[in-house]
Amino acid sequence: MDGGQWEQAIVSFLDFLRVERGLSTNTIEGYGRDLRAFAAFARQAGASEPAAVTRELLLAYLVHLKDTGKSPATAARAVVAIRSLFKFLVRERQIRDNPAAWLESPKLGRKLPNVLGVPDVERLVTAPAPRTPAGLRDRAMLEVLYAAGLRVSELLSLDLDSVHLAMGYVRVVGKGAKERIVPLGRHAIEALDAYLRLGRPLLAERGGGRSRALFLNRRGGRMTRQGFWKAIKAYARAAGIAKNVSPHTVRHSFATHLLDNGADLRSVQELLGHADISTTQIYTHVSRRRIKEEYDRAHPRAKIAPGCAPDRRPRPSGEEG
């Protein structure tokens, strides 16, 4: 088999992910990059077709990833893609044996998400000036992002009929085309109302009023991921926030602040659209860390003064504690 048949196998698998699994475009593109990189390595090693891949070749590829400086996270993502591809090919009877069945993802230390404090969030969402259509739009986008804890792809894919201001909620289509209803707070509702009345009509005129997207760019089309990323970073700088801020930072902050204030973990899972509660549990670690930091900062006897180690000498018998 030639390289074209490797490509045929990969395309079939990506179509399966798109049609049957309903994965996002970004996820599918990531799978495609990882699998094409592996296919190129396999062909160079003499495996001209998926059926020719051996355990030894897979081991060699893992070593290759490490030797070329790829991170554990990159290697883990490649393992998932390769394992999924061969499982699909066996299921479709394109190959008989699965050479990747034994593959396990590298163990990764779980990195705690970057989170803003409530004052930083307040400065961020109020940074856009509400005197222009773009400012009204950006204020509404930031308020909705924080109020509903959306992924940036979910925020940008909202249409006019996704928002129900009178009822105070937004209808979101998340990963795997799963729909969820997320409530909006008063500030988000007010910002959306101002944008819809005073900002969006002016932006829509520039595009001929054809787009049904909720958030429009300066040309009247749907706001892009790149455009919003640039905007949020500019507003973070304007707000004097030293941390590296992205749309996902705001989503992390949403979840952490809910848990800090006593929200139930299952409720936060539903609001975030997580399929597995273990994904949501990372925020409990962030909350515990923040509580400890606040305790150390605020309690007058939280820290031991230099040279004043606690006395752990044994007490004489009969001495009361």
Of the candidates 175, 187, 206, 233, the residue annotated as catalytic is 175
CA dist., res. 171 & res. 163, Å (int): 6
* Residue 66 is among the residues annotated as catalytic for this protein: no
Catalytic residue among 139, 151, 252, 257: 151
* Catalytic-role residue among 139, 251, 252, 257: 251
Identify whether 248 is a catalytic site residue: yes
Q: Which residue has the tokens 């992924």?
A: 151
Residues linked to residue 180 through DSSP beta bridges, in sequence order? 172
CA within 13 Å, CB half, 116: 25
What is the dihedral angle through the alpha carbons of 111, 116, 118, 124, rounded to the nearest 10 degrees?
-150
Is 151 tagged catalytic?
Answer: yes
Active-site entry in 31, 61, 235, 283: 283
Task: Indicate the burial class of 114 (C-beta count within 10 angstroms; 0-12, 13-18, 19 or more).
Answer: middle
Long-range contacts of 128-134 (CB under 8 A, 24+ apart): 128/235, 130/194, 132/199, 133/198, 133/199, 133/200, 133/202, 133/203, 134/199, 134/203, 134/218
Whether 232 contacts 243, CB under 8 Å: no
Which is catalytic among the residues 55, 248, 289, 292? 248
Check 87, 180, 274, 290 and give the catalytic one. Answer: 274
- Annotation marks residue 187 as catalytic: no
Q: How far is CA 44 from CA 3, 4, 60, 248, in A?
A: 10, 14, 12, 39
| Residue 178 designated active-site | no
Alpha helices in the chain (DSSP H): 3-19, 25-44, 55-67, 72-91, 118-125, 133-148, 152-156, 186-194, 200-206, 225-238, 247-260, 265-272, 277-280, 282-298
**Mapping DSSP to helix (H, G, I), strand (E, B) and coil, where does residue 261 land?**
coil
- Which positions are annotated as active-site residues? 151, 175, 248, 251, 274, 283
